């Protein structure tokens, strides 16, 4: 029997392959130990540099005071719940605004031109104005109109400001998702007799939204910490609470507390974003 017609059997690694794998393993071990060593050296250097700086004792006292940490924590945590609340309310609103604006920008019907123009103007304006200014303008401007039904609750006004600002970004994310769906998909749907609206709803949007999940989550990580910007108009959220304690006691440790709380919230979200992005890459590669 010739070797090519031999029935398929279990693969037994050859001597050559075993040697290759041994070399690969030893290299992996070596790069692992190099990475550990260099990380340790780096951390030690930073610690030595910081703790030996001339101002260190005062910084330590002002920012890393354990007693103030313990005293500030309940207040800042209490304020932080408001940040979480604002974030949870703003998020779905932003998704709705973003999607509607993205769709409005894609309208080609002449009768709806004003809507399209308005949507374009909206994204141009609110991507250009810094979020903190939007919150100022909404927070102080809207109530000043003294119109019936306009909310005066500061946190609500903050949520409106955040929604306006982030809605513009998210609209652009949705739009890039919609544009990333290949024209041949639209051609296939239209050629089956589906109208423009039905093509959007059943063919384009389902594909587009799947693609924009990782960049959207990234924007939401950013939104979580930007809820602190609402502090500028006064509601008692985490940063505002920290400010109050810090300015009355001349100790900045509460700011550190607030920072840690924000980090604790954003890290899981950031990891989830990475995970989803990696999964999308794998799917696309498959």
The contact set with another protein (CB under 8 A) reads 184-185, 187-195, 198, 202-203, 206-207, 210, 286
Tell me how far, at minimum, the Cβ of 4 lies from another protein, in Å: 20
Tell me the C-alpha distance between 274 and 221, whole Å.
Answer: 12
Query: Which candidate, 207, 124, 103, 106, places its Cα nearest to that of 169?
Result: 124
Query: Which candidate, 132, 280, 285, 143, places its Cα nearest to that of 212?
Result: 280
Q: Crossing angle of helices 253-285/238-249, nearest 10°?
A: 150
213 HSE (CA, 13 A, CB side): 16
**Residue number with CB closer to another protein (149 or 193):** 193
Tell me how far, at minimum, the Cβ of 216 lies from another protein, in Å: 17
**Residue number with CB closer to another protein (7 or 193):** 193
**Residue number with CB closer to another protein (46 or 188):** 188
Tell me how far, at minimum, the Cβ of 7 lies from another protein, in Å: 23
**Residue number with CB closer to another protein (38 or 195):** 195
Tell me how far, at minimum, the Cβ of 70 lies from another protein, in Å: 52
Residue ranges of alpha helices (H) inside 106-153 are: 113-128, 131-136, 142-144
């Amino acid at each position: 029997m010739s070797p090519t017609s031999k029935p398929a059997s279990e693969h037994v690694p050859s001597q050559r392959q075993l040697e290759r794998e041994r070399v690969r393993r030893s290299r992996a071990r070596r790069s692992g130990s190099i990475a550990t060593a260099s990380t340790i050296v780096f951390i030690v250097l930073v610690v030595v540099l910081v703790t030996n700086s001339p101002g260190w004792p005062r910084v330590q006292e002002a920012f890393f005071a354990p007693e103030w940490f313990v005293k500030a924590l309940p207040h800042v945590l209490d304020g932080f719940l408001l940040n979480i609340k604002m974030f949870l309310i703003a998020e779905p609103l932003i998704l709705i605004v973003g999607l509607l604006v993205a769709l409005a920008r894609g309208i080609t019907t002449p009768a709806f031109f004003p809507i399209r123009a308005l949507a374009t103007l909206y994204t141009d304006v609110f991507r250009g104005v810094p979020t903190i200014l939007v919150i100022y303008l909404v927070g102080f401007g809207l109530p000043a109109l003294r119109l019936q039904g306009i909310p005066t609750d500061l946190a609500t006004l903050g949520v409106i400001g955040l929604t306006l600002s982030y809605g513009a970004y998210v609209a652009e994310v949705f739009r890039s998702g919609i544009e990333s769906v290949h024209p041949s998909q639209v051609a296939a749907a239209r050629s089956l007799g589906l109208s423009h609206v039905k093509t959007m709803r059943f063919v384009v949007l389902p594909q587009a939204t799947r693609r924009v999940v990782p960049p959207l989550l990234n924007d939401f990580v950013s939104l979580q910490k930007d809820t602190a910007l609402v502090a500028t108009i006064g509601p008692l959220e985490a940063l505002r609470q920290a400010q109050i304690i810090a300015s009355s006691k001349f100790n900045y440790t509460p700011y550190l507390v607030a920072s840690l709380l924000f980090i604790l919230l954003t890290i899981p979200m950031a990891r989830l974003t990475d995970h989803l992005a990696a999964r999308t890459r794998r799917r696309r590669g498959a």
